[in-house]
């Protein structure tokens, strides 16, 4: 029905079957309906690399523009992928034109919504070996992390090697330190002795402390 040649069109909200929004959109468009399915881009880390994926803004919902007087609502409802109209009581919910315009303007901006933490944020690891370990997030890109490792802090370290300098705990120098470990020159011999001890089959030496008779 039209009044003075102007159709009475309104936007309605459809509820789609699970994961079938795109299927419903395609089938409705093939029937000549104007459909709006708002999406947004989300930034995530997939297998150690930054990835941008498109995701529904309102999962399982899409908007359709219909002539409220002449449209066959049953045909829309029976379209593959469509579960039904969102309704309050016996009336299908009409969506304001202004809201559709705002959603379309947001979609046209194509802004990427990042779900990644920012550099300096405190995060918790969830892998088995480091589960619940607290860490400071620095860089999402795996290649960039490798560059930082090779050029930044720690690039001069030798992981897996024995230390080559004298360290200590407390104080400002070995002379006034609380604890001074063995010198670097003796570490190799000490580690060799430790390995021999661990692989020895002899019984552990008895303590030379005072022995007390068993209580009666």
CATH of the domain at 21: 3.30.70.940
Q: Is residue 85 situated within a structural domain?
A: yes
| Parent domain of 29 | 7-114
Instruction: Please report whether residue 201 resides in a domain.
Output: no
Domain boundary among 114, 147, 167: 114
Alpha helices in the chain (DSSP H): 21-30, 73-77, 97-109, 142-151, 184-199
pTM: 0.49
Nearest to 134 by CA among 143, 146, 144, 124: 124
Number of domains in the chain: 2
Q: How far is 77 from 34, CA to CA, in rounded Å? A: 15
Question: 171 vs 2, 52, 182, CA distance in Å?
Answer: 90, 51, 17
**Given 114, 141, 172, which residue is the final one in a domain?**
114
Domain end marker among 99, 114, 129: 114
**Whether residue 188 sits in one domain with residue 98:** no
Q: Is residue 164 part of a domain?
A: yes
Same domain, 94 and 179: no
64 close to 23: Cβ distance less than 8 angstroms: no
Residue 97 in any domain: the answer is yes
Output the tens digit of pLDDT for each of the chain's 216 residues.
444 444 589 999 999 999 999 999 999 999 999 999 988 777 776 666 777 778 888 899 999 999 988 888 999 999 999 999 998 888 898 999 999 998 888 765 555 555 566 676 777 766 665 666 667 666 655 555 544 544 555 555 555 677 777 888 887 888 888 888 888 888 888 888 888 877 776 665 554 545 445 544
Residue 90 belongs to some domain of the structure: yes
Q: Are 85 and 73 in contact, with CB atoms under 8 Å apart? A: yes
124 falls within a domain = no
């Amino acid at each position: 029905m039209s009044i003075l040649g102007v159709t009475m069109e309104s936007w309605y909200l459809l509820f789609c079957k699970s994961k079938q929004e795109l299927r419903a959109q395609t089938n409705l468009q093939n029937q000549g309906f104007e459909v709006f399915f708002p999406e947004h881009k989300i930034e995530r880390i997939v297998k150690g690399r930054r990835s941008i994926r498109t995701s529904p803004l309102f999962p399982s919902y899409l908007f359709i523009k219909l002539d409220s007087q002449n449209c066959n609502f049953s045909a829309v409802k029976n379209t593959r992928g469509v579960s039904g109209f969102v309704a309050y009581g016996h009336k299908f919910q009409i969506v304001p034109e202004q809201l559709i315009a705002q959603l379309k303007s947001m979609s046209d901006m194509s802004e990427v919504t990042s779900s990644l933490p920012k550099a300096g944020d405190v995060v918790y690891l969830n892998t088995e070996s480091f589960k619940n370990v607290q860490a400071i997030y620095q860089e999402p890109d795996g290649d960039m992390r490798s560059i930082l490792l090779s050029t930044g802090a720690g690039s001069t370290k030798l992981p897996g090697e024995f230390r080559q300098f004298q360290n200590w705990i407390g104080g400002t120098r070995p002379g006034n330190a609380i604890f001074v470990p063995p010198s670097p020159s003796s570490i190799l011999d000490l580690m060799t002795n430790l390995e021999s001890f661990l692989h020895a089959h002899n019984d552990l030496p008895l303590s030379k402390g005072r022995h007390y008779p068993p209580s009666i």
